[in-house]
Amino acid sequence: MYDQQAHVGHSPIPGYPEERSREQSNTIIGAPGAAGAIPRIGATPKATVGSSVTREIVQVLFPALILALSIHLFLAQATIVFGRSMEPSLFERQRLIIDKLTYHFRAPYRNDIVVIKRPEMEELLVKRIIGLPSEKVEIRDGYVYINDRRLPEPFPHEQYPQNIPAYTLGPLEYYVLGDNRGNSNDSRAFGPILRKDILGRVWFRYWPLSQLHSF
């Protein structure tokens, strides 16, 4: 960085001989345009420092942004539980990680807890898969029947007395229910969901820390 306080090339100060002015100009170190000027050691132009910092920020942040976006789109996504439809398995304000990769390699299983995006709804839904493609699903007095056989449900859930007529699922349809059967908007209300409506399965609960759990 050049010494910006040095002034070279001005007219000699009145009353001083020109030789003295010339002598002074020859002793200025690092003056712009001075022949034989000695630059300050270790000094770096401000423009170079700024561009270097900008380049380093781009080199660090851009790959990190691409990685985060790729993870969000293809691998995993964080979400928050809103509502009480999955109690007692999930409670409101709990934070979850959605696995978006597994279903690229296999079909969803029965009892998987999944995150759903319905075309007609803005919000995401968290439900449990009960019926699989091509199965006949029916609810009698609150009990789920698959292909006329009562379905064992080995997870905590509310038993809600209700009757739903039998329905045979299509080749890409799934039947989903909330564990809180008396307080859930699910396939009993909007019908079966399509495979493409499933964003991923709930893989891990990471908040609160006292309730860490993998599903």
What residues are labeled active site?
85, 127
- Dist CA 198 CA 106 (whole Å): 13
Q: Which residue shows structure tokens 């292909």?
A: 147
Structure tokens at 42: 């270790």
Strand partners, 147: none
Q: Are 45 and 1 spatial neighbours (Cβ–Cβ below 8 Å)?
A: yes
Q: Which of 127, 107, 104, 133 is nearest to 115 (CA)?
A: 127
- Report the residue count for the chain: 215
Compute the C-alpha angle 122/125/128, nearest 5°: 160
Phi, psi of 178 (to 5 degrees): -85, 150
Other C-beta atoms closer than 10 Å to the C-beta of 197 total: 19
Alpha helices in the chain (DSSP H): 18-26, 46-70, 187-190
Other C-beta atoms closer than 10 Å to the C-beta of 40 total: 11
